[in-house]
Amino acid sequence: MWICHCKGVTDGQIRSAIDAGARTPVEIGARCRAGTGCGGCLPEVCRLLDDHLTSQAYYAACASCPLLLADDESELVSAEREMRRGPPGRGRYAGVLDSPPVIVIALTLSAALLLIEVALPTFGVAGIGGFALLWVGLVGISQGHDTWAPLTLIAVSVSLWAVLLVRRTPSPSGQLTAAGLYALGTVGFGAMAASPGAVAVGVGATGALAATFPVLLRGANRLLDQPAQVGMEAFDGRKAAVVSWDSETNRGTVRLDGSLWNAIADVPVRPGDEVLVVGHERMELHIIPAPVAPW
Ligand code: FES
C-alpha cells in the first residue's frame, strides 16, 4: 500500500526501514525518503512506527517525536516542517536557507544588485554579488518543499525593470507592471508556503525595489549624459594655451595637458593666449579664445 505518494514509498518499504534500524520519522526519511516531500504522510509514518515496534527503544524514540507530541494543528504543521528538512548532515544551513522569508530576502537583494549592475558601472562587483545571492535563493528553493512557481514572476519582473533601465525609459506603466509582478511573485510564494513572514518581506521588498528604480534610472542617465572621457571628444570644453600661431592660416599649436596639438581657429589668437577647445577634425583641435570672467 502506498503511504508516501510524493516519493512513491509503500508501507513495506517503511517497515523495512524500521527493521533496518530507523527509530524516528527523520531516520525513516533518510532510509527510504518517506515523508521528505510535502510531509502529508508523516502522521501515517508515525503510526506505522507505532504499530510496528514494541520495544523499549521504540518508546524512547517516539517519546520525543514532535508529531506525536503536537497538541494542535499549528504545532503539527511546524513539526512536519521541521522533519521535512531532513536528516542531519543534509546541508549545514538547511533549515535556514529554505525558510520562505530568507528565500524572498535573498532573491530581492539579488534583484537589487543585478539592477545596480545594469544601471551603474560597478565593474562586475554588484553583478557577482547578485548572482551569489541568486544562488543562495535557489539553494533555499531546492531544499524547501514550498511551491516555488510564483517566484518565476520575480524573474519576469526583474527582467522588465532591467529592460526599462537599458532603454532609459521611465515608463510609469512599465514600472507599475514590474512592481505588480514582483508583489504577485513574492506574496504568492509566501501565501502558498503559509509564511506570513515571507508575505511581509515580499510587500516590503516590492516597495523598496519600486522606490529604488527611479534613483537607478537617474544615475544611469547621468552617467550616459556625461561627456566622453576618452578620444578626441574628451578635449571638448577643455582649456589650452597657444604655443605658436600663424595668423595668415589661423593655424598653430596649442598645449593641452602637457601635450602639443595642432589647432585651428576662426578668429585670430596669439601665442600665450588661453583658448577653449570646441571641437576637432581628425587630429586637429578647433579652438576659440577662452571667455574672460567679467570680474
Ligand atoms: S506524501 Fe509523503 S511526503 Fe508527501
Give the residue extent of every domain in the chain: 2-84, 100-225, 232-289
272's grid cell = 600665450
For residue 195, report the distance from its CA to the centre of ligand 1, in Å: 20
- pLDDT band at residue 207 under the 50/70/90 scheme: very high
Q: Does the CB atom of residue 270 touch ligand 1 within 6 A? A: no
For residue 53, report the distance from its CA to the centre of ligand 1, in Å: 22
More confident: 163 or 168: 163
The least confident of 92-96, 100-104, 156-160, 208-212 is: 92-96
pLDDT score recorded for residue 38: 86
Q: Does the CB atom of residue 38 touch ligand 1 within 6 A? A: yes
Query: Is the Cβ–Cβ distance between 138 and 152 less than 8 Å?
Result: no
Distance CA 226, CA 77 (A): 57
Task: Give the rounded percent of residues in the chain with a pLDDT score beyond 70.
Answer: 81
Is there a common fold for 2-84 and 232-289?
no
* CATH number belonging to the domain at 232-289, selected among 3.40.50.2000, 2.40.50.140, 1.10.10.10, 3.50.50.60: 2.40.50.140
pLDDT tens digits for range 74-126: 555 565 555 555 544 445 555 677 788 999 999 999 999 999 988 887 888 88
46's grid cell = 508515525
More confident: 72 or 29: 29
Q: Does the CB atom of residue 25 touch ligand 1 within 6 A? A: no
Q: Which residue from 85, 139, 145, 148 is spatially nearest to 110, judged by alpha carbons?
A: 139
Residue 7 pLDDT more than 90?
A: no
Residue 251 pLDDT more than 90?
A: yes
Which residue's CA lies nearest to atom 1 of ligand 1? 4
The chain-wide mean pLDDT, for the chain, equals 82
Strand pairing class (259-265; 251-256): antiparallel
Q: Tell me the angle at which helices 196-225 and 172-192 cross, rounded to the nearest 10 degrees.
A: 150
pLDDT score recorded for residue 58: 47
Q: Which of 2, 7, 44 to mutate to test the pocket of ligand 1 (most atoms within 8 A of CB)?
A: 7
More confident: 89 or 264: 264
Q: Which residue from 174, 245, 166, 249 is spatially nearest to 210, judged by alpha carbons?
A: 174
Helical spans, DSSP H, in 85-229: 100-119, 125-143, 152-166, 172-192, 196-225
CATH 1.10.10.1100 fits 2-84, yes or no: yes
111's grid cell = 534583484
pLDDT tens digits for range 269-288: 999 999 999 998 888 999 99
Residue 201 pLDDT more than 50?
A: yes
For residue 84, report the distance from its CA to the centre of ligand 1, in Å: 9
Residue 165 pLDDT more than 70?
A: yes
Q: Does the CB atom of residue 8 touch ligand 1 within 6 A? A: no
Which residue's CA lies nearest to atom 2 of ligand 1? 4
Residue 219 pLDDT more than 90?
A: no
More confident: 92 or 137: 137
For residue 38, report the distance from its CA to the centre of ligand 1, in Å: 5
Write the CB contacts of 249 (distance below 8 Å, at least 6 apart in sequence). Answer: none
Quick one: average pLDDT of 203-221? 91
Q: Which of 6, 13, 28, 147 to mutate to test the pocket of ligand 1 (most atoms within 8 A of CB)?
A: 6
Residue 63 pLDDT more than 70?
A: no
Query: Is the Cβ–Cβ distance between 25 and 83 less than 8 Å?
Result: yes
pLDDT score recorded for residue 69: 54
Helix, coil or strand: residue 192: helix
Query: Is the Cβ–Cβ distance between 285 and 237 less than 8 Å?
Result: no
Quick one: average pLDDT of 163-180? 90
